[in-house]
A and B are shown apart, each in its own frame.
Chain A
Amino acid sequence: MLEWSSPSIILSTRNYGETDGIVSLLSLDQGLYRGLVRAMGARKNTSIWQMGNFVAAEWSARLSDQLGHFKGELVRANFASISPFPFAYSILSSICSVAESSLIERQPVPDIARLLFKILTFLSLDPQEAEQKAMPQLLRWEVLLLAELGYGLDFSVCKEYGADRAYWVSPKTGKVVTEEMAGEWKPRLLRLPLLFIDETDEGNHQDWYDGLILTGYFLEKHVFYLKNKPLPNARRLLTEKINQLL
C-alpha cells in the first residue's frame, strides 16, 4: 500500500458520481496530486473540500499508477473567509487554477507550495485589504512558477544596475534589459514592474496589470501553449478586474 500524509492546499474539486469527488491538491512535500474523495458531497465533508482550504491530507493507493484516495482534516477554512470578497476571491481562483493546470503531477515543488501557503494565509487573514499585500506576492509566485517549470526570466542585469531604473523584458528570450539597452525595440518589449526586483515594493494598479501581462505572456507561451490550453479563465478575469481599476 502506498501512502503519504502532508499539509496541502485544495486547488480544485469536481463531482464524481452522485456523492464522490475528484480533488486536486498541492501538497507541501509531494506536489500536485489528484485523488478520489469518498462521499465528498456529504454534509460533513462539503466545507472541507473547497478550493483554497488548507487540509492535513492523507493519500493512499494500492499501486503508484492508480488515482488513489484522499482523506483529509480541515486545517484552515480559507474558502469560507475569502469567498465573500470579490477581489480576494479573484486572486484565490486565479492562483489555484494556474497552479492546478500548470504544475506537473506528483513532482514535489516545495518552494511553490510554501509561497502559496503564505499568499492564501495573507488573503484569509485580511481579505478586504487583500490586493495590496497579495497581488505582488501572486506576481512573484508566477515568476517562481515559471522558473520551477524551466522558463525562468533572466534577472541578471538587475543585479548589475540596481533597482532604481526602469527595466523591460524581451518576449523572445525572457531576458531583462535596461531602458537604454531596449532602445528602439522598447515598444515590442514587456514592462517589468519594480516589485519583481524589490521585495519591499507593493506596486500600484498599473504595476499589477503590467505584471499580469508579463507573467501571463510567458505562462501562455511556455506552459499553456504546450498543453494546448488557454490561460485559465479565472486568471483572465483577474487581469480584466485589475484593468478596470486603471
Chain B
Amino acid sequence: MALGKDSDPDYFGSLRRLLILISAGLLLALFLVWRIDNARVEQFRVTLLDRVTPGFEWTLRPVAATARMIADLRAWRRVYQQNEELRREVQRMQGWREAALQLEQKNARLLALNNVRLNPRLTYVTAEVMADAGSPFRRSAMVNVGRADGVSDGSTVVDGLGLVGRIAGVGERSARVILLTDASSRVPGVVLPSGQRVMVSGDNSVAPPLDFVGQAEALRPGDRVVSTGDGGLYPPDILIGRVTLGADGRQRLRPAADYRRLDFVRVLRRAPPPVIEGPGEIIGPLAAQPDLPPAPPEARQ
C-alpha cells in the first residue's frame, strides 16, 4: 500500500515490511535475552535509569509537588475536623510519651546492668523518591542515593514508621526500591501478640497477603507484624504493618509505611554480621599434621 503517496513505487512498502519483520525478530530475541539473563539486563536497566533520571529530576519534582499541593488543597475543606482529631490525638500521644520515657529509662538501666553491646553498624541514609515505576508490571520507585552513598543490593528501606521495601538494582547515584507490595517481595515476619510466624508475600495489590500462617485463627485484624530477620535480608524488629482482613476473606497486611506520601525514605546501610568459618587462628595453627606433603604450588596461589 502506498500510504497516501500515489507516486511511490510499492517497494518502499515491502522494504518497510522487511524492516518491521527484522525489528520484530530482534525485539523478540531481546525479550528472550531478558528472560534468560535477567540479572544482567536488569542491571543494564538500572544503569540506564541512573543516567536518565537525574537529568529529568528538575522536571519530575515540580510536577509531583504541584500534584501534592492540589491534594492538600482538597484537605483544607475539613480542616476544622482535622484540628479536633489532632487535638485528641495529641492528648493520647502525651500519655504514650510518658510511658515511652519511663520504658526508655528502664531499658537503659537494664542494658547497663547487662553490659549489652548493640550493633553499631546499622546506619542509614535519607533519600528522596525521584520516579515511579510507570507501569503496573512492577511496584517500585527510584531513589536518589546509590553506590556512592554506600547503598547496596538488598539494603532495607523504611519510612518514618515502617518497612517500605528493599533495594534491588543500584546505580552510581540512584537505586531502585522494590516495594513490599511488589509480586516478587517476600518478607518473613512475626505477628506480635500471638507470636505467629508469617510470610508477607506481595502480589501487586495494596495490601499484600500473609502466607504460611501457622494458626490463622490466632491472628486478629489490627495485630502488629514486625520483621524477624530470618534469612538475613531484613534486620529484625522493623514494623511492617498490621493484620487486616481482605475483601476476599484472606488475611492481609496493611503496610505501616505511608505509600501515598512516599517522598522521603531511609535506606539502612547494614554491614552483614561476620560469618565465622572454621576454627580460625585461635586454637592454633593447623600444623599438627607434619606428615602431609608440601602443598602443590597452584594451591598456594
A and B from one complex: no
Chain A contacts to B: CB under 8 angstroms: none
Chain B contacts to A: CB under 8 angstroms: none
